[in-house]
């Protein structure tokens, strides 16, 4: 019969053995700092001023009762953005483009309106493909890792000539551009990101709260349209910003976004209607558009557009090689807390 002392010794040995064989408890991932408040302004040393767009859910598209809506805006669908991001407070200007690219392709390259600065007019006459080159070169200057990769390279010098048509030798490769995983650089926002930023928490046709696109006196305060732009682009930032500090989201120039243009999926429409937008499965998370297409999406309307084309939900598109005097771009950048300046 074992003594009481030996039983205690054996039990102690077994406990020590079990403790030694136990898996170590993994260290918890460090908690990320809280997101900045909506509309907080950040300025990189390249002079690109951006405003913070928060994560969260919003209703994308337009209701059937919205004045001036088009069918391609789809039924209202609930979108959830899992991460906030930085969005340029105005479209890329001619002086910003020229500083990076060394030239100004704009159709409206002279004769600004009285009292306005030529360099602060939005750059236009740039294709979706041109935007990729600009974004990566700007990221390199700013010290961010470039967002776009073509044929495995993030260096635009390796990409070859910018495609100028669907039959161009580089068209397929450039159309298959990829986002570099973990990249921190500038890029075109997705359609969902653009609309969330333009709406700035509002659910009305325009971010100012206006619902009627024919209300010219009201709309004159927030954007440049065919009725007030006098047939040309205008200096950015002269009109009132939306609630999150973005200027010129309504009018001035159409803005390229990331997505291939396609009809919105109806997958969530029934769930939204049945659940009153409350059920978790009624949300579509971080949509990036169709996997392939023939045209890329445009948002925001222009100086040539009637105001209904500049509502927050309004959509258009063009082939990614198209350039014209009504099309420009606005850049976004993902949030990387490790690269944010300390207070």
Lowest-confidence pick of 5-14, 153-162, 190-199, 306-315: 5-14
pLDDT in tens, 224-271: 999 999 999 999 999 999 999 999 999 999 999 999 999 876 544 444
> Does residue 14 lie within any of the structural domains?
no
How many domains does the structure of the chain reveal?
1
Average pLDDT over residues 99-103: 97
> Does residue 177 lie within any of the structural domains?
yes
Lookup: tokens for 102: 């060394």
120 CB burial (10 A radius; 0-12, 13-18, 19+): middle
Distances (CA, A) of 33 to 27, 30, 261, 324: 18, 9, 35, 42
Lookup: tokens for 95: 């002086």
Backbone phi, then psi, for 30, in 5-degree steps? -65, 135
Interhelix angle 94-101/128-142, nearest 10 degrees:
70
Q: How confident is the model at residue 47 (pLDDT cuts 50, 70, 90)?
A: confident
> Does residue 12 lie within any of the structural domains?
no
Percent of the chain at pLDDT > 70 equals: 83
- Which CATH number fits the domain that encloses residue 120? 3.90.1580.10
- Res 74: pLDDT: 84
> Does residue 252 lie within any of the structural domains?
yes
- On whether the CB atoms of residues 77 and 60 are closer than 8 A, the answer is yes
Lowest-confidence pick of 22-36, 179-193, 301-315: 22-36
Distances (CA, A) of 43 to 34, 119, 190, 302: 19, 18, 22, 26
- On whether the CB atoms of residues 190 and 289 are closer than 8 A, the answer is yes
> Does residue 24 lie within any of the structural domains?
no
Average pLDDT, the chain: 87
> Does residue 202 lie within any of the structural domains?
yes
Residue 7 reports pLDDT greater than 50: no
User: 280: domain range?
Assistant: 34-339
- Res 275: pLDDT: 46
Residue 24 reports pLDDT greater than 70: no
> Does residue 9 lie within any of the structural domains?
no
- Res 36: pLDDT: 85
The pTM of this model reads 0.86
> Does residue 23 lie within any of the structural domains?
no
């Amino acid at each position: 019969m074992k003594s009481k002392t030996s039983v205690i010794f054996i039990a102690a040995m077994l406990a020590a053995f079990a403790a030694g064989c136990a898996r170590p408890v993994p260290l918890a991932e460090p908690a990320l700092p809280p997101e900045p408040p909506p509309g907080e302004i950040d300025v990189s040393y390249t002079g690109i001023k951006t405003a913070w767009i928060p994560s969260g859910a919003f209703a994308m598209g337009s209701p059937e009762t919205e004045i001036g809506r088009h069918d391609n805006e789809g039924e209202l669908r609930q979108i959830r953005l899992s991460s906030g991001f930085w969005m340029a407070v105005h479209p890329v200007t001619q002086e910003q483009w020229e500083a990076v690219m060394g030239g100004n392709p704009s159709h409206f390259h002279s004769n600004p309106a009285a009292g306005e600065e030529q360099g602060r007019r939005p750059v236009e006459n740039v294709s979706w493909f041109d935007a990729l080159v600009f974004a990566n070169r700007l990221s390199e200057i700013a010290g961010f890792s470039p967002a776009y990769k073509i044929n495995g390279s993030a260096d635009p010098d390796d990409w070859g000539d910018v495609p100028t048509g669907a039959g161009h030798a580089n068209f397929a490769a450039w159309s298959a551009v990829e986002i570099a995983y973990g990249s921190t650089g500038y890029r075109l926002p997705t359609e969902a990101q653009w609309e969330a930023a333009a709406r700035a928490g509002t659910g009305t046709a325009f971010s100012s709260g206006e619902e009627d696109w024919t209300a010219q006196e009201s709309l004159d305060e927030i954007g440049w349209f065919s009725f007030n732009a006098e047939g040309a682009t205008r200096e950015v930032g002269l009109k009132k910003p939306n609630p999150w500090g973005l200027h010129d989201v309504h009018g001035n120039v159409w803005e390229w976004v990331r997505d291939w243009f396609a009809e919105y999926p109806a997958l969530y429409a029934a769930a939204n209607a049945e659940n009153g937008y409350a059920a978790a499965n009624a949300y579509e998370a971080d949509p990036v558009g169709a996997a392939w297409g023939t045209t890329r999406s445009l948002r925001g309307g222009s100086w040539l557009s009637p105001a209904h084309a500049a509502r927050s939900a309004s959509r258009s598109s063009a082939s990614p090689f198209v350039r014209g005097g009504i099309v420009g771009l606005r850049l976004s950048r993902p949030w990387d807390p490790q690269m944010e300046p300390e207070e």
